[in-house]
């Protein structure tokens, strides 16, 4: 199996502010695994929160790619990822998820099946996705909510956690007024103390908020569980629910856990979490980081398994380098075709991809499986940029 990497910059359509940071762009590293003329693709994005800059991702993905060399075919390599034998112990979950994505895509193409069928789901998953409204003025939030509702979004997620909670309340009130039929989720990204959360959650419940993600600072899951016992809103753990061990600690004690493939380690890790919480009273939420369609697509193949779906990271970009899962009408759908069912978008100003990409050791793509066109390689990571949770 031949492995190649490519670095691209993903710019947001507009800055996105959350309680701890503002983000305007981030880098993505694509991993492509080729075997007998077919290619599978995966994506990992940089994250200050998880300590992953461009060089780190590139180095770790290259190491994981070297590890694929001992396998005769992608099916055996995918089994090793599923069983925790690949990549090497201690590899960050985001890297594991990207490698698994490329192998799932490739194995699906070799079998002529979409990923969801490889995972045991016959019908093509589709789900209403939340659309994030960042920390903006109430008037701006009202305008955004109205436009999103008119476009078909029935679930809106409002960021919170400013220094003045009244600003957050005004934002949610504006969104509720502009989109009265929408389900509202609230996400302070851990900005509140337990006391603040106890005081504020009843007020947000009165505005019709359906659930709240990680209201208190991560690092004290017991405090989060105690809050969930008496909260008027379902509490969904996010930053406090990273690994399977974290979820074991909170299963049955919070109303939901936000599973992000880049956080837990990929599709098979998410399925283990789903199995763990089954029957506990804790429901599954599928979330994401801001990423392209390629990075979001594996989770969409699980979308029918979740109570809440928040897979809008690709919708925040000024230009998504991939297409195939939709979402602009408020619904994400697993891509059609084998594997992930996504395809690269030609660079703006062109109508096709070049027949080959000038990189040492990289063979031109087979016509039936287009290779992404070359995009600028970013040499330096802007460390002041933060990821969106």
Question: Rounded to an integer, what distance in angstroms lies between the CA atom of residue 64 and that of residue 162?
Answer: 40
Q: What is the pLDDT of residue 347?
A: 75
109 part of the active site: no
Question: Rounded to an integer, what distance in angstroms lies between the CA atom of residue 385 and that of residue 26?
Answer: 7
Query: pLDDT (tens digit, 9 = 90+) per residue, 258-315?
Result: 999 999 999 999 999 999 999 999 999 999 999 999 999 999 999 999 999 999 999 9
Q: What is the pLDDT of residue 243?
A: 94
**Cβ contact 261:232 at 8 Å:** no
Q: What is the pLDDT of residue 349?
A: 59
Beta strand 322-323 pairing with 343-344? antiparallel
Question: Rounded to an integer, what distance in angstroms lies between the CA atom of residue 211 and that of residue 158?
Answer: 11
Question: Rounded to an integer, what distance in angstroms lies between the CA atom of residue 28 and that of residue 97?
Answer: 13
Q: What is the pLDDT of residue 346?
A: 83
Instruction: Residue 294: count other Cβ atoms within 10 Å of its Cβ.
Output: 29
Spell out, as residue ranges, where the chain has pLDDT lower than 70: 349-389
Q: What is the pLDDT of residue 369?
A: 44
The pLDDT mean for the chain works out to 91
Predicted TM-score (pTM) of this structure: 0.90
**Cβ contact 42:379 at 8 Å:** no
263 part of the active site: no
> Residue 128 forms beta bridges with which residues?
331
Task: Exactly one of 260, 263, 368, 380 is catalytic; name it.
Answer: 260
Task: Exactly one of 109, 157, 159, 263 is catalytic; name it.
Answer: 159
């Amino acid at each position: 199996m031949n492995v190649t990497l490519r670095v691209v910059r993903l710019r947001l359509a507009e800055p996105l502010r959350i309680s701890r940071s503002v983000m305007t762009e981030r880098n993505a590293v694509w991993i492509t695994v080729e075997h007998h003329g077919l290619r599978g693709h995966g994506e990992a994005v940089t994250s200050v929160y998880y300590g992953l800059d461009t060089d780190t991702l590139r180095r770790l993905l290259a190491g994981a790619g070297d590890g694929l060399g001992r396998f005769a075919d992608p099916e055996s390599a995918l089994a090793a990822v599923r069983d925790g034998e690949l990549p090497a112990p201690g590899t960050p979950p985001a890297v594991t998820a990207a490698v698994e994505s490329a192998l799932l895509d490739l194995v699906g193409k070799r079998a002529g099946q979409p990923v969801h069928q490889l995972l045991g789901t016959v019908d093509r998953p589709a789900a209403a996705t939340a659309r994030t409204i960042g920390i903006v003025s109430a008037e701006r939030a009202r305008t955004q909510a109205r436009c999103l509702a008119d476009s078909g979004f029935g679930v809106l997620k409002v960021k919170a956690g400013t220094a003045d909670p009244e600003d957050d309340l005004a934002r949610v009130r504006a969104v509720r007024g502009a989109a009265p039929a929408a389900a509202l989720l609230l996400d302070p990204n851990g900005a509140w103390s337990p006391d603040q959360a106890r005081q504020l959650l009843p007020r947000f419940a009165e505005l019709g908020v359906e659930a709240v993600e990680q209201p208190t600072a991560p690092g004290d899951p017991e405090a989060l569980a105690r809050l969930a016992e008496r909260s008027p809103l379902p509490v969904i753990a996010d930053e406090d629910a990273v690994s399977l061990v974290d979820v074991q600690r909170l299963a049955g004690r919070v109303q939901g856990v936000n599973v992000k493939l880049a956080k837990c380690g990929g599709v098979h890790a998410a399925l283990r979490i789903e199995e763990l919480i089954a029957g506990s009273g804790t429901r599954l939420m599928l979330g994401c980081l801001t990423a392209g369609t390629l990075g979001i697509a594996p989770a969409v193949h699980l979308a029918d398994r979740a109570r809440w779906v928040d897979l809008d990271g690709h919708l925040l970009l000024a230009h998504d380098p991939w297409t195939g899962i939709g979402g602009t009408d408020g619904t994400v759908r697993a891509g059609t075709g084998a594997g992930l069912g996504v395809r690269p978008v030609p660079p703006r100003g062109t109508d096709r991809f070049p027949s080959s990409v000038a990189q040492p050791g990289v063979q031109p793509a087979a016509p039936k499986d287009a290779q992404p066109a070359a995009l600028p390689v970013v040499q330096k990571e802007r460390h002041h940029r933060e990821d969106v949770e």
